């Protein structure tokens, strides 16, 4: 099997060498007519819901660009791989893209740990790595030249904005914060605490729970005992439902509760799972999007997706795949005909645009690699959504 | 503080019965075949999803979905034993343990079940089966419990008693016990060993399905919820891997210990408590609380 | 079969070393990466096979020692300034010591209890990796510094590859000597019948503790190998899925046989990449297919590939 791969690799490399035209010290993955992009995401396994639709959305965006004649005469060709959000597989995929397929850039990743695992390699090889919809905290902060990510926002953004909303809009002074004991929890609780301190509120309870928790009795008892005036949860969907149920069971529904985006991918399903609309009387949730998941601003993307993939109803995260693809095509535009990886990175650094998908601008800078720092919040009572005023931003400094 | 302890205990008992129900099926399989069923959690998962299928799509009444799910999973378990495990056992060479191969086969089964369930986009989101009993929560003093919680405890105890009665009092049950203790002797007295094993697997799977339907409202359904099997193992070990009543006691102890760990230490201690308890019990009293004497198998 | 291993058995190792020297010049890094992953798994799998296939001990704490080896190798370098060449053996020694400590109570347990106790230990170890963030970086993990082997920096696949090959070769040599020695015979005796083994004068308890410690050392070495070519370690790497993978490798390949273990490592180690390429449009089925392969392998080759086709197994 290995020999067959090697043979194929040689043939492929030889073919590319022939197609590449006259010997010019050009970057790999570029010909006069094509740009080769290695696209990857979890397409199977437990986390496929986070990667499948976003990857298809990115592919769709590239197709749209190709329909308009490509970028400076070059069409985008994508190679697609499944990484299952597994660090060993991501490194494997990225190494294959770069050293065998010789793609121009790698674009992908819906999970953070794999992104960090691949960071050193892409930096060493000087290949731009644009994440898909991964939060990517550890890989973009601190910023390194070749790795761009957080198009939906880092977890640091989630923590900072949710705390700011709790204090400024809900007038919270005593906050209970429930997070997981994983890397997401580390990131979001750090900035949340920093923002609380900055704005003069007290974190009266900080519960770190396992993502696999089955009984949230103990943490919720402690939260209740702390007598908060706002409760924040950055838990994943199953624990978030359990927390909300116990919150109602223990009679805390007069206290507002805010659920971070990762806990409530589809609000209608969340409400059904909680099974008790009285629990939702004071519930808010955060979102990095510029509208409700099926709101009018998101509909244009949903309709476009349906044109491309009529057999698939897009999941909650589909549009998250678009801003990164947009950044790629914009940067390619900016560079112009004489395209190199270094120029591509320089162009990405100058970007600052409204994607039409997420709440805030997509922006990079010399020392900034997390694209998106905004959240909006929505009050949800099980039936209606009410977009709360204000777009909340993390300033990139709190908690650092 | 007292209120917190009482609440932690009450909720711990309920969650513990959840673990106990799953543990029952693990112990049935272990007692009859010496196999550790790594697919135990996935069978619970399938049972729960079949319950959703029955209730929300086929419009069956709630009582019927127990039967629907149990029947289908009985078939699944029996089929797995008949087709796969029989084959594996058939290639055993006397003197060499085939157990590890059987365990790997159950691992394969768990992936097959997870993979199959994931084919349905419905399962991409966390889902919940509506509870058997809905209504206002019940207050005992300041301790709050749901009606479903009582159902869980009640049915767990009932199932355990029914299984105990079945194994002790009925001919079939005694035959099954004989098969697990000494297959060759059982065969000698005319007990159809292979069919008995198949029945055990079917029975264990059906119990898992019942567990799944009871627990799905409490635990929420994802294709990966099978990881809870580790906690069921812990419950079984505490109670004694050979003992059915031990499952209930072990489960309850585990549920309460977890909550106390969360209450008195940190919330992240909740996830490590089961493993500490396993190691402690196995070091001090390997047969668990009810395991009886450790009988050395003939070598 | 017993006595010193014949020199012919060392011949394949020369091929391994030759490949180690030559391949980095010839093939793209991707294949070297795969090779490094496989070599690491090989050491891990051989260590588990010693315990499970040769000594018949159903113990699954292996992954914890793998983690100890990886984390310790990094921490010895970053916190204590110990150079890599010493850090890795020290880390393996630490893993071995912990293995011995665990073995002392654990070896009193019978099959299923041993399995569950050691499994619980492995889960507990993963929790420690996650919770002890001052030392292990917790959930955020640790970045692995470029290891420096007597002035020769590792850290990239082409540079690590030859060194990994050497380490693997040494491990295989040690294994060959171990398994053909009196100690190896004791292991088989214990596996087949502890009572008979004791009756023939083998100190069963001590032998079990020793093989535990040796197996843990293998896992620790594999952990050190991990740090030679990876750039990041976090607790997720040392979980249940890994235990299952290594176990599947040795069972599918053939328990108690060195060639079988290596076959299992190559097959199951390359499976994700093969499936990814072969099932491009059918990615949703990968989990199903993987499970199906395990089931079919057990149904038709329960003694593993080597055990079925070569019909030989560690025999006294």
pLDDT single digits (tens) C57-88: 888 899 999 999 999 999 999 999 999 999 99
Query: Which segments of A68-111 does DSSP mark as H helices, in order?
Result: 87-96
Give contacts of B110 with chain C, Cβ < 8 Å: 291
Give contacts of A183 with chain C, Cβ < 8 Å: 138-141, 234
Query: Which segments of B265-299 does DSSP mark as H helices, in order?
Result: 269-284
CA dist., res. B250 & res. B68, Å (int): 29
State chain B's mean pLDDT as an integer. Answer: 86
CA dist., res. C144 & res. C126, Å (int): 18
> Is there a contact between C291 and B112 if contact means CB atoms under 8 Å apart?
yes
Q: Is the residue at B253 inside a domain?
A: no
The nearest alpha carbon in chain A to C283 belongs to A44
C-alpha distance from C121 to closest chain B C-alpha (Å): 7
> Is there a contact between A2 and C143 if contact means CB atoms under 8 Å apart?
no
The nearest alpha carbon in chain C to B109 belongs to C291
C-alpha distance from B146 to closest chain C C-alpha (Å): 32
Chains contacting A with at least 3 CB pairs below 8 Å? B, C
Whether A89 and chain C come into contact, CB under 8 Å, resolves to yes
Angle at B22 between CA C245 and CA A46, to 5 degrees: 40
Half-sphere exposure of C190 (CA within 13 A, CB side): 29
pLDDT single digits (tens) A260-299: 999 999 999 999 999 889 999 999 999 999 988 888 999 9
Q: Would you state the pLDDT for residue A327? A: 96
Half-sphere exposure of C259 (CA within 13 A, CB side): 13
Q: What phi, psi does A357 have (nearest 5°)?
A: -120, -50
Q: Would you state the pLDDT for residue A4? A: 61
> Does the structure show a pLDDT above 60 at A6?
no
> Does the structure show a pLDDT above 70 at A22?
no
Q: Which of A115, A300, C247 is nearest to B105 (CA)?
A: C247
> Does the structure show a pLDDT above 80 at A2?
no
Give contacts of B104 with chain C, Cβ < 8 Å: 247-248, 251-252, 294, 297-298
Half-sphere exposure of C130 (CA within 13 A, CB side): 26
> Does the structure show a pLDDT above 70 at C52?
yes
Name the residue range of residue B147's domain: 18-226
> Does the structure show a pLDDT above 60 at A90?
yes
Q: Would you state the pLDDT for residue A7? A: 58
pLDDT single digits (tens) B184-235: 888 888 888 888 889 889 999 999 998 898 888 888 889 988 888 888 988 9
> Is there a contact between A138 and C34 if contact means CB atoms under 8 Å apart?
no
Residues 6+ apart with CB under 8 A from B292: B240, B242, B243
> Does the structure show a pLDDT above 60 at B295?
no
pLDDT band at C1 (very low <50, low <70, confident <90, very high): low
Q: Could you give the percent of chain A with pLDDT greater than 70?
A: 94
What is the mean predicted confidence (pLDDT) over B125-133?
85
Chains contacting C with at least 3 CB pairs below 8 Å? A, B
Q: Which residue of B13, B262, B273 to mutate against A (max A Cβ within 10 Å)?
A: B262
Q: Would you state the pLDDT for residue A13? A: 54
pLDDT single digits (tens) A53-88: 999 999 999 999 999 999 999 999 999 999 888 888
The tokens of C147 are what? Answer: 């290891």
Q: Which residue of A9, A17, A51, A88 to mutate against C (max C Cβ within 10 Å)?
A: A88
pLDDT single digits (tens) B88-118: 888 776 656 777 888 888 989 999 999 999 8
Q: Which residue of C29, C134, C139 to mutate against A (max A Cβ within 10 Å)?
A: C139
> Is there a contact between A217 and B12 if contact means CB atoms under 8 Å apart?
yes
What is each CA distance from B196 to B160, B187, B298, in whole angstroms? Answer: 20, 10, 22
pLDDT single digits (tens) B237-257: 888 887 888 888 999 999 999
CB neighbours (10 Å) of residue B145? 18
Angle at C18 between CA C15 and CA C23, to 5 degrees: 115
Q: What phi, psi does B11 have (nearest 5°)?
A: -65, -35
CA dist., res. A113 & res. B274, Å (int): 27
Q: Which of A90, A130, A84 is nearest to A349 (CA)?
A: A130
Whether A43 and chain C come into contact, CB under 8 Å, resolves to yes
SS3 A276: coil
> Does the structure show a pLDDT above 50 at C114?
yes
Q: Could you give the percent of chain B with pLDDT greater than 90?
A: 26
Residues 6+ apart with CB under 8 A from A343: A335
> Does the structure show a pLDDT above 70 at A3?
no
Q: Which burial class, exposed, middle or buried, applies to B169 when counting CB atoms under 10 A from its CB (0-12, 13-18, 19+)?
A: exposed
Choose the most confident range, by mean pLDDT, from A339-353, C22-36, C252-266.
Answer: A339-353
> Does the structure show a pLDDT above 60 at A95?
yes
Q: Would you state the pLDDT for residue B226? A: 87
Of A92 and B176, the structure prediction assigns the larger pLDDT to A92
Residues 6+ apart with CB under 8 A from B29: B35, B36, B37, B40, B200, B201, B204
pLDDT band at A24 (very low <50, low <70, confident <90, very high): very low
Whether C316 and chain B come into contact, CB under 8 Å, resolves to no
Half-sphere exposure of B183 (CA within 13 A, CB side): 12
> Is there a contact between B220 and A238 if contact means CB atoms under 8 Å apart?
yes
CA dist., res. B173 & res. A33, Å (int): 74
What is each CA distance from A82 to A44, A230, A320, C32, C278, in whole angstroms? Answer: 7, 40, 17, 20, 12
Domains and CATH numbers, chain A: 34-153+295-369 (3.40.50.2300), 155-287+377-393 (3.40.50.2300)
Q: Is the residue at B248 inside a domain?
A: no
> Does the structure show a pLDDT above 60 at A176?
yes
The nearest alpha carbon in chain A to C267 belongs to A1
pLDDT band at C271 (very low <50, low <70, confident <90, very high): confident
- Entry field: residues in chain B: 299
Q: Which residue of C22, C33, C37 to mutate against A (max A Cβ within 10 Å)?
A: C33
Q: Which burial class, exposed, middle or buried, applies to A254 when counting CB atoms under 10 A from its CB (0-12, 13-18, 19+)?
A: exposed
> Does the structure show a pLDDT above 90 at B170?
no
The tokens of B287 are what? Answer: 């047969």
Angle at A299 between CA A329 and CA A313, to 5 degrees: 90
The tokens of A8 are what? Answer: 């194929």
Mean pLDDT is lowest, of B164-178, C58-72, C237-251, for B164-178
Q: Would you state the pLDDT for residue B292? A: 63
> Contact, A327 vs A350, CB < 8 A?
no
Q: Which burial class, exposed, middle or buried, applies to A337 when counting CB atoms under 10 A from its CB (0-12, 13-18, 19+)?
A: exposed
CA dist., res. C38 & res. C19, Å (int): 14
pLDDT band at C316 (very low <50, low <70, confident <90, very high): very low
pLDDT single digits (tens) A347-379: 999 999 999 999 999 999 999 999 999 999 999
pLDDT band at B151 (very low <50, low <70, confident <90, very high): confident
Q: Is the residue at B239 inside a domain?
A: no
What is each CA distance from A159 to A33, A398, C40, in whole angstroms? Answer: 44, 10, 38
> Is there a contact between C292 and B91 if contact means CB atoms under 8 Å apart?
no
> Does the structure show a pLDDT above 60 at A14?
no
Which residues of chain B are at the A interface, by a Cβ-Cβ cutoff of 8 Å? 4, 7-8, 11-12, 15, 18, 118, 121, 124-128, 130-131, 134, 137, 144, 146, 217, 219-220, 222-225, 227-228, 231, 255, 258-263, 266-268, 270-271
> Is there a contact between B128 and A46 if contact means CB atoms under 8 Å apart?
no
Give contacts of A272 with chain B, Cβ < 8 Å: 128
- Entry field: residues in chain C: 316
What is the mean predicted confidence (pLDDT) over A162-181?
96
> Does the structure show a pLDDT above 80 at C8?
no
State chain C's mean pLDDT as an integer. Answer: 88
pLDDT single digits (tens) B18-36: 889 899 989 888 887 778 8
> Does the structure show a pLDDT above 50 at A148?
yes
Our count of domains for chain B comes to 1
List, in sequence order, every residue forming a beta bridge with A39; answer none if it has no partner.
A80, A107
pLDDT band at C290 (very low <50, low <70, confident <90, very high): confident
> Is there a contact between C157 and A183 if contact means CB atoms under 8 Å apart?
no
> Is there a contact between A241 and B126 if contact means CB atoms under 8 Å apart?
yes
Residue identified by tokens 């010399």 is: A366
> Is there a contact between B299 and C195 if contact means CB atoms under 8 Å apart?
yes
| CA distance from start to end of chain B | 54
Angle at C115 between CA C252 and CA B86, to 5 degrees: 50
> Does the structure show a pLDDT above 70 at A111?
yes
Q: Could you give the percent of chain A with pLDDT greater than 90?
A: 81
Q: Is the residue at B189 inside a domain?
A: yes
CA dist., res. C236 & res. C234, Å (int): 6
Of A18 and C84, the structure prediction assigns the larger pLDDT to C84
> Is there a contact between C115 and B36 if contact means CB atoms under 8 Å apart?
yes
Q: Would you state the pLDDT for residue B94? A: 64
What share of residues in chain B are helix, strand, coil (percent, to 5)? 75, 5, 25
What is each CA distance from C19 to B31, C32, C35, C42, C164, in whole angstroms? Answer: 50, 11, 10, 16, 11
Helices B40-52 and B62-79 pack at an angle, to 10 degrees, of 140
pLDDT single digits (tens) C184-236: 888 888 888 888 888 888 888 889 999 999 999 999 999 999 999 999 998 98
Q: Would you state the pLDDT for residue B253? A: 93
């Amino acid at each position: 099997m290995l020999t067959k791969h090697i043979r194929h690799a040689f043939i492929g490399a030889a073919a590319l060498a022939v197609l590449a035209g006259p010997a010019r010290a050009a970057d790999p993955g570029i010909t006069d007519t094509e740009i080769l992009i290695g696209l990857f995401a979890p397409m199977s396994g437990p986390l496929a819901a986070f990667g499948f639709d976003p990857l298809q959305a990115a592919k769709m965006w590239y197709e749209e660009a190709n329909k308009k004649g490509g970028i400076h005469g070059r069409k985008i060709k994508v190679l697609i791989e499944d990484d299952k959000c597994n660090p060993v597989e991501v490194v494997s995929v990225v190494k294959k893209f770069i050293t065998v397929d010789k793609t121009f850039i790698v674009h992908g990743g819906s999970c953070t740990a794999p992104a960090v695992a691949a960071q050193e390699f892409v930096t060493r090889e000087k290949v731009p790595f644009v994440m898909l919809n991964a939060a990517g905290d550890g890989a973009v902060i601190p910023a390194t030249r070749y790795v761009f990510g957080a198009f939906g926002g880092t977890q640091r953004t989630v923590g900072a904005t949710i705390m700011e909303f709790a204090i400024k809009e809900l007038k919270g002074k005593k906050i209970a914060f429930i997070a997981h004991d994983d890397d997401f929890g580390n990131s979001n609780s750090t900035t949340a605490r920093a923002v609380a301190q900055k704005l003069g509120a007290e974190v009266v309870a900080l519960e770190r729970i396992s993502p696999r928790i089955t009984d949230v009795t103990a943490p919720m008892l402690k939260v209740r005992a702390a007598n908060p005036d706002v409760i924040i949860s950055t838990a994943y969907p199953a624990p978030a439902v359990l927390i909300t149920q116990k919150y109602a069971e223990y009679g805390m529904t007069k206290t507002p509760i805010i659920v971070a985006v990762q806990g409530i991918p589809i609000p209608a399903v969340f409400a059904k799972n909680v099974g008790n609309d009285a629990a939702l009387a004071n519930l808010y949730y955060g979102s990095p999007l510029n509208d409700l998941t099926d709101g009018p601003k998101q509909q244009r993307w949903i309709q476009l997706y349906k044109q491309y993939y009529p057999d698939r109803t897009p999941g909650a995260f589909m549009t998250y795949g678009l801003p990164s693809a947009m950044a790629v095509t914009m940067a390619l535009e900016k560079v112009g005909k004489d395209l190199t990886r270094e120029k591509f990175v320089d162009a990405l650094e100058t970007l600052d645009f409204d994607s039409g998908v997420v709440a805030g601008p997509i922006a990079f800078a010399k020392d900034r690699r997390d694209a998106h720092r905004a959240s909006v919040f929505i009050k949800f009572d099980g039936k209606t959504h009410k977009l709360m005023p204000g777009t909340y931003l993390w300033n990139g400094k709190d908690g650092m | 503080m007292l209120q917190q302890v009482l609440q932690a205990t009450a909720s711990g008992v309920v969650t513990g019965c959840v673990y106990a129900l799953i543990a029952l099926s693990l112990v049935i399989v272990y007692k009859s075949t010496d196999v550790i069923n790594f697919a135990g959690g996935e069978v619970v998962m399938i049972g729960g999803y079949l319950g959703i299928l029955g209730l929300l799509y086929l419009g069956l009444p709630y009582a019927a979905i127990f039967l629907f799910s149990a029947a289908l999973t009985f078939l699944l378990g029996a089929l797995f034993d008949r087709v796969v495990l029989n084959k594996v056992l058939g290639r055993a060479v006397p003197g060499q343990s085939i157990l590890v191969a059987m365990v790997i086969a159950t691992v394969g089964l768990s992936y097959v079940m997870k993979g199959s369930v994931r084919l349905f986009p419905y399962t991409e989101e966390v889902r919940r089966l509506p509870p058997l009993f809905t209504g206002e929560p019940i207050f005992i003093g300041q301790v709050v419990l749901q009606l479903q919680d009582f159902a869980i405890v009640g049915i767990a105890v009932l199932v355990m008693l029914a299984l105990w009665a079945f194994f002790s009092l009925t001919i079939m049950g005694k035959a099954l016990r004989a098969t697990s203790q000494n297959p060759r002797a059982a065969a000698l007295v005319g007990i159809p060993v292979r069919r008995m094993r198949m029945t055990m697997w079917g029975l264990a799977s059906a119990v898992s399905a019942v567990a799944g339907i009871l627990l799905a409202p409490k635990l929420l359904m994802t294709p990966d919820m099978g990881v809870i099997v580790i906690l069921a193992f812990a419950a079984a070990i505490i109670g004694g891997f050979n003992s059915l009543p031990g499952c209930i006691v072990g489960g309850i102890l585990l549920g309460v210990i977890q909550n106390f760990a969360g209450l008195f230490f940190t919330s992240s201690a909740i996830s490590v408590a089961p493993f500490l308890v396993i190691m402690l019990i196995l070091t001090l009293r390997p047969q668990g609380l009810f395991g009886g004497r450790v009988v050395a198998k003939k070598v | 079969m017993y006595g010193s291993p014949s020199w012919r058995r060392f011949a394949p190792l020369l091929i391994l070393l030759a490949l180690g020297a030559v391949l980095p010049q010839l093939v793209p890094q991707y294949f070297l990466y795969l090779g490094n992953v496989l070599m690491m798994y090989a050491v891990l799998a051989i260590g588990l096979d010693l315990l499970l296939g040769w000594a018949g001990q159903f113990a699954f704490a292996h992954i914890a020692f793998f983690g100890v080896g990886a984390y310790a190798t990094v921490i010895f370098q970053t916190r204590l300034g110990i150079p890599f060449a010493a850090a890795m053996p020290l880390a393996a020694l630490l893993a071995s010591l912990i293995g011995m400590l665990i073995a002392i109570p654990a070896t009193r347990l019978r099959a299923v209890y041993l399995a569950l106790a050691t499994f619980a230990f492995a889960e507990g170890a993963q929790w420690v990796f996650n919770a002890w963030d001052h030392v292990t970086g917790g959930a955020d993990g640790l970045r692995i510094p470029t290891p420096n082997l007597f002035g020769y920096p590792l850290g990239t696949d082409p540079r690590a590859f030859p060194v990994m090959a050497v380490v693997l070769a040494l491990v295989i040599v040690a294994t060959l000597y171990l398994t053909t020695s009196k100690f190896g015979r004791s292991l088989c005796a214990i596996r087949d019948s502890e009572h008979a083994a004791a009756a023939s004068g083998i100190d069963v308890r001590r032998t079990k503790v020793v093989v535990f410690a040796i197996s843990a050392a293998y896992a620790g070495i594999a952990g050190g190998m991990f740090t030679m070519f990876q750039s990041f370690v976090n607790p997720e790497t040392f979980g249940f899925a890994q235990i299952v993978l290594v176990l599947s490798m040795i069972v599918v390949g053939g328990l108690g046989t060195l060639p079988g273990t290596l076959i299992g490592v190559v097959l199951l180690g390359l499976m994700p990449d093969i499936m990814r390429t072969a099932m491009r449009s059918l990615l949703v089925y990968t989990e199903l297919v993987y499970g199906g392969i395990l089931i079919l392998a057990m149904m038709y080759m329960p003694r593993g590939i080597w055990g079925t086709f070569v019909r030989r197994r560690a025999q006294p």
